Structure 1
């Protein structure tokens, strides 16, 4: 099956300033692609290139097998939902939703049927006669989505659509968008700087930094096997622990040596048959460090650590310790007896470890 969206060797420059470099991304029909990265990484520019709102400097963009590089936005069969909602303030909700169809010459019976469908889907039937100024932020967002949905396009493009909403509303709107995607089977491209949003919505994630794609993969691949230190640090909340360490050979074994704030270094078993360099950075998610006795497995190893900070967080308690000169966070159960200043035996799940090169930041395993 040909990809519904195929971006090849795309670059975008403003004069000498290179905004996007050699972007290659392809998605299948029904995928939910999320472009994620810090502010200024080029994700919104890439979305605008897909929409045709920005011309590209090199490469190509195909939608459903058709080269769109020089096709105008209105002829690309896409629908876009903006951060600002971009609703007409003088029109009712119903007119905002049907306006695009009216401009394209769709007959009034079809307009009414599609309006009825999306209003029911988005639960905005009581709002149809109101104007945007009489709506809350979440309601405006639904109307903007309704306007896109009546198009039934090949691609839906979302540019940070939830960033103007408060935290609680963001979570509920995120669920709405996910349900919509599942019920419609539509293909969506979604820009956000919020990595939790990316993890919960996407079937495929593109992590960007400085106009360069750092990694493309499923949420599980990106979370469990980050390609480099940037992805490891950016994806996940709290972030992955990144601990400077050294390797030491002991016969056929490799040991990982990590400095502790006081006492002897911690020694952990390294991977079998490893050819890791002497200096490494060991990456381990907070949930892969538990209180001893609460985690079992062939590769689980326990060690005494001094606890510097205890942070209760409802269902979990986070504890912070110093390892390798860095603050390391462990995610423990809510009833832990951990106390600041006391020693606690922590269990490290070495099956989940990522190793990185300190100089290049690239993944080593």
Structure 2
């Protein structure tokens, strides 16, 4: 039985509809991440799951029970907020145990659960401190501890790391992933950070303007985006989206891409079928390779490309990023650090045809 089921959920504020026919379910132990740009409705959806926002239509079930009209305290959930929401006058220990105290949990159970979560989160030395004496990361651990002691059916996280600096976000991300693995907890997590989504999730929901664009594993979302929005939003650097022309002859599809100051770049794809004449070719920066001296490339890829003029070279430690122009748009290539690539010079590139995506220029939908 799914832990969470959302069926045909709608949410409106007056005449303005902000969530459109949302259908999502997660199983026991899933880590579901809601991701999308600011204003896409992901936090509103989380608040609807929590019962903090009434819904305008549809149903929400937690553990098989319809909780559509149930108050937040009776939904068997625990929520971790972006703002921590700690009581400033209470110690860390009291912040964590206060909810249990209000619910009438006996003191022995309170002490046992406090000791368990303090050990899990490594905050034992902080239990007598007040929130003002803690760093941002420590406050977030306390907020997580307060949720953990409830032992709920479902955890809800609303951008819990967005107030932390970049280095602390990475370490806290690792802690949250470890907690999920150790507890086999069922989690719904909101973020606008697609790297956070990819590293934490077992399943991802990509949202745009109150609608779901795609639901899938991180691998499915990254390697087979359902449309151009998902392709562009997920990944850093983003997938290259290159206008091109397609023509199929004798069972083989010929892809032509305009190249500045030269004949079109021609790629022959023996697998692609039934493409329209005008397409958008999608390819990740790491799936464009140096065409010569690459033993790891399959033989049929050596001819899947050609010479291009490099505009900019950006060394980035273990990688080198090169930018060229194809189809009238900038194209980013991720190369090995030792690649002999230079700006304002020609460089041979090959496309990994097993990784390319084709999209419709009209509606952005995936074609292959």
* TM-score, scaled relative to structure 1: 0.98
Contact (CA 8 Å) 2:305, 2:348: kept in 1 or not? yes
**How many angstroms apart in 2 are the aligned matches of 1:193 and 1:155?**
21
The secondary structure found in structure 1 opposite 2:20 is strand
- The CA distance in 1 between the partners of 2:270 and 2:126, in whole Å, is 60
**Distance (Å, rounded) in 2 between the aligned partners of 1:134 and 1:238:** 38
2:338 to 323, 335, 345: 335
Distance between the aligned counterparts of 2:128 and 2:272, measured in 1? 69
Partners of 1:348 and 1:171 in 2: CA distance: 32
Task: Provide the rounded CA distance (Å) in 2 between the counterparts of 1:102 and 1:299.
Answer: 67
Matches within 5 A, 1:90-169: 90-169=89-168
Is 1:297 the equivalent of 2:302? Answer: no
Q: RMSD across aligned C-alpha pairs, in angstroms? A: 0.9
1:84, 1:249 → 2: CA distance?
A: 55
How many Å separate the matches in 1 of 2:343 and 2:208?
37
**Superposed CA offset, 1:106-129 (max 9, x none):** 000000000000000000000000
Which of residues 309, 312, 315 in structure 2 aligns to 1:309?
312
Following TM superposition, by how much is the alpha carbon of 1:297 offset from its aligned partner in structure 2, in angstroms? Answer: 1.2
Long gaps (5+) in structure 1: none
1:269 is displaced (CA, Å) by 1.1
Aligned-partner Cα distance in 2 for 1:250–1:364? 18
Shift of 1:272: 2.9
Deviation at 1:271, TM superposition (A): 4.5
Residue 329 of structure 2 is aligned to residue 326 of structure 1:
yes
- 2:280 — aligned with what? 281
Cα distance, 1:221 vs structure 2: 0.3
Task: State whether structure 2 residue 356 is matched by structure 1 residue 353.
Answer: yes
Helix, strand or coil for the counterpart of 1:350?
A: coil
With over 3 angstroms needed to count, the CA separation of the structure-2 counterparts of 1:233 and 1:63, relative to structure 1, is same
Is residue 2:171 matched to residue 1:172?
A: yes
CA contact (8 A) 2:247 2:255 kept: yes
Change in 2 beyond 3 A, CA 1:201/1:318: same
How far off its partner does 1:328 sit?
0.4
Cα distance in 2 for residues equivalent to 1:229 and 1:248: 21
1:87 lines up with 2:86 in the alignment: yes
Say if 2:247 and 2:253, in contact at 8 Å, map to a contact too.
yes
1-side partners of 2:345 and 2:186: how far apart?
52
Q: What is the SS of the residue equivalent to 2:263?
A: coil
Normalised to the residue count of structure 2, the TM-score between the two structures is 0.98
In the aligned structure 1, how far is the partner of 2:348 from the partner of 2:272? 28
Shift of residue 250 of structure 1?
Answer: 3.4
Q: Is the 8 A contact 1:299 1:349 kept in 2?
A: no
Displacement after TM superposition at 1:273 (Å): 6.0
